[in-house]
Amino acid sequence: MTAAPDTPAAAATRITPDARVALVTGSSSGIGEAVALRLAAEGIRVVVNSARSVEAGEKVAAALPDAIYVQADVSDEAQARHLVDSAIAHYGRLDILVNNAGVSRPVPHADLAAATPELWREILGLNVIGTWQTTVAAMPHLARTGGGSVVNISSIAGSRPAGSSIPYAVSKAAIEHMTRLLANAVGPEVRVNAVAPGLVETPWTQGKDFFVPIAQKVRESTPLRRVGRPEDVAEAVLGLADAAYTTGQVLLVDGGAHLI
């Protein structure tokens, strides 16, 4: 049986001046927050980030041992670089980058007119270009460690005709192909992988009308018979961050939804 992870408070006893550093974009709530907590529980120092929810991000960072919060919108190249520069200025190193920041706007797939060019630009600008800009800014520092790791957060919508909108699904497909291309380009110094969650209950989905019927279908038809939790995704992120002989992979964390 696998031992339960330490709490961040317990892990504080294992934080050392040479402990690894992880930057988790979009980590003030939901999946990003769960990732930050899980990494901190392993004795990893964490840079918490959000574009707008400053108070929530500061609260997450304050709850973790030797963590900092940096406000930055990674869809803006200058801010993405500022985020990485702030991590290096504070810690002097960067070992893990988790590209979690993203946006989704529910639009029925058949409503083509509602998927406006402005919506496409918003979603691709953050989900794809933001991921790229942060990765490019972080890459020299990740490579310097000799064992750097990038974990991108994709979605089951990146490989199936699903998702909250067509622009969102396309953005996740792009992230998955970017993951493979980068893995081939930056090895052996840095590994690049992705996690593709299925339906996960987060603050963004809770209480939303569209979520209820989808969640019911997941509970009735998938092999594990439940909706995902942010902690499920966080566990997979940690596993890929530490998987020294794995790169260019997209790990589905969907309770078996891809089997139906």
168 belongs to the catalytic site: yes
Helix intervals (H) in 19-102: 30-40, 54-62, 77-91
Residue 130 DSSP code: I
Judge whether 87 and 94 are in contact, CB under 8 Å: yes
145 to 25, 195, 249: CA distances (angstroms)? 20, 23, 21
Q: Which residues contact 117 (CB under 8 A, 6 or more apart)?
A: none
> Cα separation of 7 and 101, whole Å?
24
Judge whether 158 and 128 are in contact, CB under 8 Å: no
Residue 29 DSSP code: S
> Cα separation of 51 and 123, whole Å?
14
Catalytic residue among 69, 91, 168, 245: 168
Active site amino acids:
168
